[in-house]
């Protein structure tokens, strides 16, 4: 048994305010991540809580087409999870963009996805201070009407974030409130701008990151965005060609849509993670959370009824992000004075 992982789950459950009268459901896939299942159960029992393991034969989506969804076990899984208070998702891909997540938290349950290696879970576990920074960032988005992202490399992207019902994702890495979902570890803010509102250009540079490819961008890619969709991908290096190939092979116009947009806030998250660790052992949370990154994504948007397994998260360096007149990130660094 991984005793360090058990200790970390105990620490995490305390952040999640798990009580001895509550029930934990661990959603897993047959034969996968058994160490996490074991640690989640043992830690729950050590705090006096009940623990139920729900194992589906398979729930993960493929990273490349063809995509065939098999949801036959989902209804039974949802029914059992609905009897529990805290749902720990240790499936391989995570039920992040799926209807399962929406239905579980819709019933007021807390749901936490766990995927990173033990060391990353421990080093980046959430704190009250991180939660406060993420919450302060959410207020900027909630009160804002326009996000403008620029960079010296040529990025110039405008998004409509107006409206009281703007979906905002606050991720500080634990679930301490009812109907809350999070991913341990996390430290970023994101929103889903008004669908089809994005306009402009995104210029990727060496050192930016492709997730879930888990590698750094190696050469410039110039991406044109019109009415919320990528309409052109240009560049002299091989990354532009690879990105074009990747989108084309899904034969689905929705994979070109822009999805969530936001910025990283975790003071301990490092751009070096993909070099320090085996990249394929990571889920990418560290890169998503680097303080001052601009993270944008493609494809899935459950608020626009768009569910596709073709979903890229792309954290970028050196961008400036403005919400209306307020600079929240300046050239890749948090504008510290506004976070309190």
Residues that bind Fe ion in the complex, under the rule CB under 5 A: 297, 313
Sign of the Cα torsion 194, 195, 201, 204 reads: positive
Strand residues in the chain grouped as ranges (E):
23-29, 50-56, 86-89, 110-114, 146-151, 156-160, 168-171, 181-184, 188-191, 199-204, 209-210, 215-216, 221-226, 229-234, 258-264, 294-298, 313-316, 319-323, 326-330, 333-334
Q: How far is the CB of 251 from Fe ion (least distance, A)?
A: 22
Give the residue with the Cβ less far from Fe ion, 41 or 202. Answer: 202
**Contact indicator for 237, 224 with CB cutoff of 8 Å:** no
Give the residue with the Cβ less far from Fe ion, 9 or 172. Answer: 172
Peptide bond into 212 cis (omega under 30): yes
Q: How far is the CB of 39 from Fe ion (least distance, A)?
A: 25
Q: How far is the CB of 298 from Fe ion (least distance, A)?
A: 9
Give the residue with the Cβ less far from Fe ion, 151 or 297. Answer: 297
265: its two tokens: 């806030």
Measure CA 231 to chain center.
Answer: 24
Give the residue with the Cβ less far from Fe ion, 43 or 186. Answer: 186
258-264 and 50-56 beta bridge pairing: unpaired
Helix axes 74-81, 99-106, angle to 10 degrees: 20
Q: How far is the CB of 42 from Fe ion (least distance, A)?
A: 30
Give the residue with the Cβ less far from Fe ion, 82 or 167. Answer: 167
Give the residue with the Cβ less far from Fe ion, 109 or 288. Answer: 288
Q: How far is the CB of 260 from Fe ion (least distance, A)?
A: 6
Q: How far is the CB of 116 from Fe ion (least distance, A)?
A: 15
Helix axes 3-15, 34-46, angle to 10 degrees: 60
Q: How far is the CB of 8 from Fe ion (least distance, A)?
A: 24
Give the residue with the Cβ less far from Fe ion, 140 or 283. Answer: 283
Rounded-to-integer distance, Cα 312 and Cα 45, Å:
37
């Amino acid at each position: 048994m991984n005793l360090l992982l058990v200790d970390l789950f105990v620490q995490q459950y305390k952040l999640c305010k798990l009580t001895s009268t509550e029930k934990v459901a661990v959603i897993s896939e047959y034969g996968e991540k058994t160490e996490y299942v074991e640690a989640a159960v043992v830690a729950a029992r050590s705090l006096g809580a009940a623990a139920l393991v729900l194992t589906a034969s398979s729930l993960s989506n493929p990273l490349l087409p063809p995509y065939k969804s098999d949801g036959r076990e989902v209804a039974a899984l949802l029914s059992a999870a609905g009897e529990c208070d805290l749902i720990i998702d240790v499936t391989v891909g995570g039920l992040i963009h799926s209807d399962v997540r929406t239905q579980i938290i819709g019933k007021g349950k807390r749901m936490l996805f766990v995927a990173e290696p033990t060391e990353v879970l421990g080093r980046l576990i959430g704190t009250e201070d991180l939660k406060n920074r993420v919450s302060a960032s959410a207020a900027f988005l909630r009160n804002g009407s326009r996000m403008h992202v620029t960079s010296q490399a040529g990025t110039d992207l405008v998004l409509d974030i107006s409206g009281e019902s703007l979906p905002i994702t606050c991720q500080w890495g634990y679930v301490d409130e009812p109907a809350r979902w999070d991913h341990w570890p996390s430290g970023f803010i994101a929103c889903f701008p008004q669908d089809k509102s994005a306009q402009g250009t995104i210029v990727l540079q060496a050192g930016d990151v492709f997730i879930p490819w888990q590698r750094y961008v190696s050469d410039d890619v110039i991406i044109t965005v019109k009415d919320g969709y990528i309409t052109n991908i240009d560049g002299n290096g091989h990354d532009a060609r690879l990105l074009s190939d990747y989108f084309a092979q899904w034969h689905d116009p929705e994979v070109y849509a822009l999805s969530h947009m936001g910025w990283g806030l975790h003071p301990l998250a490092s751009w070096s993670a993909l070099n320090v660790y085996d990249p394929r052992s990571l889920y990418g949370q560290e890169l998503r959370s680097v303080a001052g990154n601009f993270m944008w994504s493609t494809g899935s948007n459950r608020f626009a009824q768009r569910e596709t397994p073709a979903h890229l998260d792309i954290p970028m360096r050196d961008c400036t992000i403005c919400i209306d007149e307020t600079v929240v990130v300046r050239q890749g660094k948090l504008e510290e004075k506004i976070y309190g």
